[in-house]
Structure 1
Amino acid sequence: MFIKAFLLADSRFEFTNINCTSYEKRIAEFEYCYLKSINRSYKYLSGKLKVYEIPLPNMKVNFVLWKRLNGYKPFLYNVTVDLCKFLATPKSSPVVKFVYESYVTFSNFNHSCPFNNDLYVEKLPVDFMNHRLTKILPFPEGDYLFEFLWFRSRSVIGSAKIYCTVS
């Protein structure tokens, strides 16, 4: 009886906030970064990074997953990858590959280095993320923060913090 009830339980993923910050505005700057709620069932995330120094080589990305437990604490993953090497061989980092596959369909990140244009994620729907984070890789209930930091030559260019909840 308990096992049957456990298997029928359904989780729900929801975006709660997003915060994008540009640190090196001479290199790149966020043009926009927001969540949009169309109605109760359709919400999406969009963001665009305007790149001023083209091409943009030697990028590293740090992905950190945080869980809210009396403040946000590191949870499971803190991974840094060389972006160009990762795009050449995505299997080199399974965690980053899962995250990358979660948004690449809704972005222009689907090509190899160097990046010669602005970078964007457009209308990433909460339903798509709900499927990935409750069915494909089930997350425990709680509040989470997905943090992305972009580095070039050891200096932080920008960061994106995506807050969400699984209930």
Structure 2
Amino acid sequence: IKEGKKFNKDNEVVIDHSLKDKGFKVNDIINLSQSDEKLHIVGVSESAKYNASPVIFTNNKTMKKINPALSSDKTNSVVVKDSHWNDKKVKSDLEVIGIDDFVKNLPGYKPQNLTMNFMITFLFVISATVIGVFLYVITLQKKSLFGVLKAQGFTNGFLMKMVLAQTFILAL
């Protein structure tokens, strides 16, 4: 917690720092759209996001008041950054997963990752098309120069190497 304190009572919450950047502060009272509960901000956490949305922390009783449908969902997890965790006694009723597996199984991670990969691929296609059209226009403008070079005895291979070298330099 960067500012304020941890929630101790019902209807107390700790907000992500990005909400503070949007104007919320400690001791503010907030209302969520799906509930009539008034929540008192008592602290600001460091970066805490679920997908790209800021997180608000509270106790289970307040969560049940806000959304009774979530009262049966209980998740408990522990993150351990210890290279020798396997040497320690871990109860058999706990599921141990690596950080990479945890991240890959986050809800929305795969669709978001696919979207980003598609955008990057499409960016390369657009860039290649723009560079190709640009080089085509430059080549057409140099058509008469190529004729003069051919008349002076330069081979097609040399002219092609010259154009490819210019393409490579412009692509960087």
Q: Above 0.5 in TM-score?
A: no
Given the two structures, how large is their TM-score scaled by the length of structure 1? 0.23
Q: Which one has the bigger helix percentage?
A: 2
Compare relative contact order (CA 8 Å, sep 6+) and give the higher one, 1 or 2: 1
Larger radius of gyration: 2
Higher strand share: 1
